[in-house]
Amino acid sequence: MTLTYSRFATPLGDVRLARCEDSIVGLAFDDAWPRVERALVRRYGTFRAASASSPDVAATLRRYFEGAPDALAELSIDPGGTPFQRAVWAALQRIPAGRTTFYGAIARAIGAPGAARAVGAACGANPIWLVIPCHRAIGNDGQLVGYAGGIARKRWLLAHEGALPCAEPASTRSAVAFAQR
């Protein structure tokens, strides 16, 4: 088994990507990559890692960060996970850009009322950040809670997608370079 790795610069810091064949199996910011990589080892056991460019993903991420928040939906993903996690992740993908929902609402939507904390845990186990938009899930009291990438990134992503007032001037956001590394 070979997983290919790529790295990209974004306005929020570098992200790393892992692919198995044509599907993304991991995507996270550098500072949280070790957690995602441990999950990949649990999922795949021993694997060979190879560096590879991913121009298609680079172009899609660029479009997302340049203002096309729905661009990420076209990426092929395979997050693995338990049946419960997959149900949560599928529900997250149905939340349109520019909208948020509550952990409890996700629990009800997947037929597990009262499982808001378990939904939060599934969000925390999400191996494909941004594409599975766990940043769109907020606390039942409306607070921004529970994003493994940090609340500042969650706030920025939601503002970028139009769900919150802009966290910084638009000129700052659009001036940040984006490149594959």
- The residue whose two tokens read 């925390």 is 124
User: Tell me, what's the pLDDT at 141?
Assistant: 86
- For residue 64, give every residue at least 6 positions away whose Cβ sits within 8 Å of its Cβ, in sequence order, or none: 71, 72, 130
Work out the average pLDDT over 34-51: 88
User: Tell me, what's the pLDDT at 50?
Assistant: 85
Per-residue model confidence as pLDDT tens digits over 96-136: 999 999 999 999 999 999 999 999 999 999 999 999 999 99
Q: Is residue 168 scored above 90 in pLDDT?
A: no
Catalytic residue chosen out of the listed positions 20, 123, 134, 166: 134
Specify the CATH number for 83-160; select among 3.30.720.200, 1.10.10.10, 1.10.260.40, 3.40.718.10.
1.10.10.10
Token representation of residue 181 = 């590394």
Task: Provide, rounded to the nearest whole percent, the portion of the chain with pLDDT above 70.
Answer: 91
Token representation of residue 8 = 């990209």
Is 166 among the catalytic positions? Answer: no
Q: What is the C-alpha to C-alpha distance for residues 175 and 78, in angstroms, rounded to an integer?
A: 32
For the chain, the domains span 2-74, 83-160
Q: Which CATH number is associated with domain 2-74?
A: 3.30.160.70
Report whether 172 contacts 12 (CB < 8 A). Answer: no
Q: Is residue 176 scored above 70 in pLDDT?
A: no
Task: Provide, rounded to the nearest whole percent, the portion of the chain with pLDDT above 90.
Answer: 75
β-partners of residue 167 are none
Per-residue model confidence as pLDDT tens digits over 66-101: 999 899 999 999 999 999 999 999 999 999 999 999
